[in-house]
Amino acid sequence: MENQAKKGILIAFGELFLKSAGVKKMFQRRLQNNLRFFLEKEGADFKIHSFRERIFIETKEIGKAKKAIKRVFGIVWLAECFCFVDLNEMLDFIAKNYSRYIKKNEPFAVRMKKERKIIDRVAKLIDRKVDLGRPKKELFIEKRNKSYFLYFKKQKGPGGLPVGSAGKVLSLVSGGIDSPVAVFLSAKRGAENVWLHFHSFPLVSKASIEKTKELAGVFLKYQPKIKIYFVPFQKVQTEIKAKIPQKYRILLYRRLMFKIAERIAKKENCQALVTGESLGQVSSQTLPNIKIIEEAVKIPVLRPLIGWDKEEIIKLAEKIGTFDISIKPQEDCCTLFVPKHQTGKGNLEEIKGLEKKLKRPKLDYDLWLK
């Protein structure tokens, strides 16, 4: 009887319920496209079936499918399941196979919405004690259209919204610990990330460039493709070092980075910038200086880590697999020119006056697309 059931994985998406019908349909289509991409990338044989509140991935390659699905944002939970097109077939399956899933000493509960008669019929088939309050095992049944889904355990999904459903952002990625975590969090909220990396080659090695490419390899688990802009910044830094007082150099570096980023964002149709800034972590990330830096652009600047401390950031970096890459040695394009004495509270008018002494930076870059 088991052979008559379709095997696969049932997927639930959370926040999509809050959207209007049109937006929900668009989000669900994006989720299906992302699932299809990563399932194919994993080499799984599958079919996708869409329902009003669920997606069913029909597959016998459960291991491969789960590996792909767990990296797709927009999924609140997933469950290995059996799918039946006939109620009596499901009941027959339960009667013959429940002992494989529920041991003799394990009280159980049947979870199903609005179908009390089916719940009673299922419970009578199982020779085990019922405990609705504190069961050792739960048997879940969902009716979707004319199909019945049977599963025994839910697994937490990555959550968030499908990548690409919230538009595009340009993320400033330094190669350090913070910015990749900020990218991850913005992707989890549905943003497709284009990357921008400033470097000081040939004044320093290509270490930061190679690290950024390596980090992108990690993020290709979560986003189908990534475009990276590599912008040489050494001429700008050299000019700032020659013309600007020490205490204001970092602020000028950051303002010019934002201005360049804004131009690239416009080219890529990105609606915001994303940075790894955390409030008060360094002098350029105090509130007065954040305001001075952000004043240089009109585009919104998103800071997913603004309220995080370093310990929290490191913990997530380790979880998503970027930490070991980020701590590899590099000569960062900012640290190379960081002065000993920096100000935590700049003066905007003074900064603007100093900025007029600088040449408008020429926008040279290399692209890396995968």
C-alpha to C-alpha distance for 238 and 242, rounded to whole angstroms: 6
The model scores a pTM over 0.85: yes
Q: Do 176 and 325 share a domain, yes or no?
A: yes
pLDDT at residue number 175: 86
Show the tokens assigned to 357: 């002494």
Q: Do 66 and 196 share a domain, yes or no?
A: no
Last residue of a domain, one of 159, 189, 212: 159
List Cα–Cα distances, 45 to 29, 30, 61, 220, 345, in angstroms.
20, 20, 7, 21, 58
pLDDT at residue number 337: 53
Q: Do 232 and 283 share a domain, yes or no?
A: yes
Last residue of a domain, one of 159, 191, 217: 159
**How do the pLDDT tens digits run along the chain, 370 residues long?**
345 789 999 999 877 666 777 778 888 899 999 999 999 999 999 999 998 889 999 999 999 999 999 999 999 999 999 999 999 999 999 999 999 999 999 999 999 988 889 999 999 999 999 999 999 999 999 999 889 999 999 999 999 999 999 999 999 999 899 999 999 999 999 999 999 999 988 777 788 999 999 999 999 999 999 999 999 988 888 888 888 888 888 888 899 999 999 999 999 999 999 999 998 777 677 888 899 899 999 999 999 999 999 999 999 999 999 999 999 887 655 555 555 555 556 678 888 888 888 877 777 777 777 6
pLDDT at residue number 341: 54
Beta pairing, strands 6-12 & 54-58: antiparallel
**DSSP letters of 12-73?**
E-SGGGGS-HHHHHHHHHHHHHHHHHHHHHHT---EEEE-SSEEEEE-S-HHHHHHHHTT-T
Write the CATH number for 16: 3.30.2130.30
Phi, psi torsion values for 186, nearest 5 degrees: -70, -35
Q: How many structural domains is the chain composed of?
A: 2
Q: Do 76 and 199 share a domain, yes or no?
A: no
Q: Is 284 helix (H, G, I), strand (E, B) or coil?
A: helix
Q: Which domain holds residue 50?
A: 2-159
pLDDT at residue number 1: 37
Torsion over CA: 317, 321, 322, 326 (sign): positive
pLDDT at residue number 18: 67
pLDDT at residue number 284: 75
Angle made by CA atoms 354, 357, 362, in degrees to the nearest 5:
115
Q: Do 143 and 254 share a domain, yes or no?
A: no
